[in-house]
């Protein structure tokens, strides 16, 4: 007979009668396994906390998005958004699934090349490309997505002086009826800058206009916004065809599809409110198909979806460090995962599951990270069971941005593991050591 479960007694308000608007109380399911592998085993072997990725979930997400789009449109190409997660193993899974690379810096560009992506399969985005990076991208035949006129002029100069040709697209921003308007990246559609840039590119013999790109925002919950954006790009494509008899090769709709995480302050759970890939696909593809573009000239549709593909595949497993009562009587639980490791805690109400069974009683709790900083709050308030020191938990849907925006702060960053399709666990990034962190430092002689 197993040992009876003990939890510290708590006092909860009894609310008889009909359930409140929040429903019949919170049930937090325990999560002993991640993709079929015991969390306890993972922590014992790789320490706490540990980042865990599921290859099966990644491939499933790719399959879902490819199916959703390819059932509706003939030519679809995915491009993996490096900034969302550029752990090499993760990128390579996406490349194996047929994704190109979408990079926004020279560093990411080199990373993509190192991962075996052909230069002609890299989309180079971002507002801060250097002259050397532009030249390299042009020589490799990568698609350079022009963000502003200064970049256009710089690229033109490079191509003229070095006598090379560049394949370019322009990033277009536009009013699609949602707030906030993302007009800081790319050239505006309504004020004519985009058309101006197109004309300059078309008249430049060294620049070849390959496509049009837009990225309307992040975590966009309205599929209509995509419909509008796609039809505006299609209109631009038609104007180009009409004026220059030139047919662009692709329309890049960027990313921004919402993952199933719940945004901070959202009333309903993300699982219920975010559109499915099918809905996004229907809006985008029908806008392009129904445009004036001739059927045999339909461009390839490129998607740079990052978040919606990787968020669900990543989790962080950690342990409780301590519990305490706050001044207002609320319980606080301190865990070993801080905002330095879970940057997205600022955006999302991440779900946290205890690993072991619990009594089912929950209490309003604040969850703090281990940093000695006031901002280190994972969840300001959630209904959570009582966990003891040493109890383990899993934070789900942490795959996007956390491994690129994480901070080496106060302590070093932990191991990252990947569970492959056969449920075998691989270490894909080992925990940092003091030597790693100090390796780049130099001490002037007089301090030696």
- Site residues (CB under 8 A) for other proteins? 59-60, 63-64, 67, 70-75, 77, 118, 120-121, 141, 167, 208, 210-211, 249-250, 278, 296, 300
d(CA 309, CA 80): 9
Tell me the closest approach of the beta carbon of residue 292 to other proteins, in angstroms: 17
Tell me the closest approach of the beta carbon of residue 397 to other proteins, in angstroms: 17
CA distances from 44 to 47, 50, 422 (A): 6, 10, 20
Q: Are 200 and 176 in contact (CB under 8 A)?
A: no
Tell me the closest approach of the beta carbon of residue 73 to other proteins, in angstroms: 8
Residue number with CB closer to other proteins (260 or 429): 260
CA distances from 142 to 135, 193, 348 (A): 10, 23, 35
- Would residue 406 be called left, alpha or beta, if left means φ above 0 and alpha means ψ between -120 and 50 degrees? beta
Tell me the closest approach of the beta carbon of residue 396 to other proteins, in angstroms: 18
Residue number with CB closer to other proteins (77 or 173): 77
Q: What is the DSSP letter of 213?
A: E
Omega within 30 of 0 (cis) for the link into 300: no
Pairing of strands 143-146, 122-124: parallel
Tell me the closest approach of the beta carbon of residue 443 to other proteins, in angstroms: 49
Q: Are 386 and 10 in contact (CB under 8 A)?
A: yes
**Residue corresponding to tokens 């461009």:** 299
Structure tokens at 143: 């698609």
Q: Are 317 and 403 in contact (CB under 8 A)?
A: no
Residue number with CB closer to other proteins (274 or 386): 274
Residue number with CB closer to other proteins (65 or 377): 65
Tell me the closest approach of the beta carbon of residue 172 to other proteins, in angstroms: 18
Residue number with CB closer to other proteins (59 or 181): 59
Residue number with CB closer to other proteins (242 or 290): 290
Omega within 30 of 0 (cis) for the link into 49: yes
Tell me the closest approach of the beta carbon of residue 167 to other proteins, in angstroms: 7
Residue number with CB closer to other proteins (63 or 175): 63
CA nearest to 371, candidates 413, 331, 401: 413
């Amino acid at each position: 007979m197993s040992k009876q479960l003990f939890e510290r007694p708590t006092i909860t308000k009894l609310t008889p009668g009909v359930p409140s608007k929040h429903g019949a109380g919170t049930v937090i399911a325990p999560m002993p396994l991640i993709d079929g592998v015991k969390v306890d085993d993972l922590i014992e072997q790789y320490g706490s906390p540990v980042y865990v990725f599921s290859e099966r979930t990644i491939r499933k997400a790719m399959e879902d998005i490819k199916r959703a789009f390819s059932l509706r449109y003939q030519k679809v190409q995915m491009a993996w958004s490096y900034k969302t997660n550029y752990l090499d193993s993760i990128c390579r899974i996406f490349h194996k699934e047929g994704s190109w690379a979408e990079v926004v810096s020279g560093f990411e560009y080199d990373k993509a090349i190192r991962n075996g992506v052909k230069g002609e399969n890299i989309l180079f985005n971002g507002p801060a490309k250097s002259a050397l990076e532009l030249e390299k991208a042009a020589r490799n035949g990568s698609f350079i997505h022009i963000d502003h006129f200064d970049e256009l002029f710089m690229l033109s100069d490079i191509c003229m002086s070095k006598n090379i040709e560049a394949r370019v697209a322009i990033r277009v921003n536009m009013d699609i009826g949602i707030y906030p308007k993302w007009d800081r990246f790319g050239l505006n559609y309504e004020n004519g800058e985009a058309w101006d840039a197109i004309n300059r590119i078309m008249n430049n013999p060294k620049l070849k206009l390959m496509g049009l790109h837009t990225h309307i925002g992040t975590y966009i919950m309205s599929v209509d916004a995509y419909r509008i954006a796609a039809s505006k790009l299609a209109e631009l494509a038609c104007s180009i065809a009409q004026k220059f008899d030139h047919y662009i090769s692709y329309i890049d709709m960027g990313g921004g599809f919402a993952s199933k995480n719940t945004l901070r302050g959202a009333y309903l759970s993300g699982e219920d409110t975010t559109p499915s890939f099918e809905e996004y696909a229907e809006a985008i593809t029908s806008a392009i198909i129904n445009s004036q573009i001739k059927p045999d000239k339909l461009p390839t549709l490129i998607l740079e979806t990052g978040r919606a593909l990787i968020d669900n595949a990543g989790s962080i497993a950690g342990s409780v460090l301590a519990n305490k009562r706050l001044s207002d009587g609320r319980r606080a639980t301190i865990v070993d995962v801080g905002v330095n490791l879970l940057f997205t805690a600022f955006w999302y109400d991440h779900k946290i599951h205890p690993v072991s069974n619990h009594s089912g009683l929950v209490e309003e709790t604040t969850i703090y990270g281990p940093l000695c900083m006031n901002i280190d709050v994972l969840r300001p308030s959630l209904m959570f069971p009582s966990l003891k020191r040493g109890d383990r938990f899993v934070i789900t849907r942490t795959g996007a941005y956390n491994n690129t925006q994480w901070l080496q702060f106060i302590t070093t960053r932990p191991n990252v593991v990947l569970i492959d399709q056969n449920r075998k666990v691989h270490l894909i990034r080992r925990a940092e050591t003091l030597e790693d962190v100090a390796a780049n430092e130099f001490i002037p002689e007089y301090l030696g």
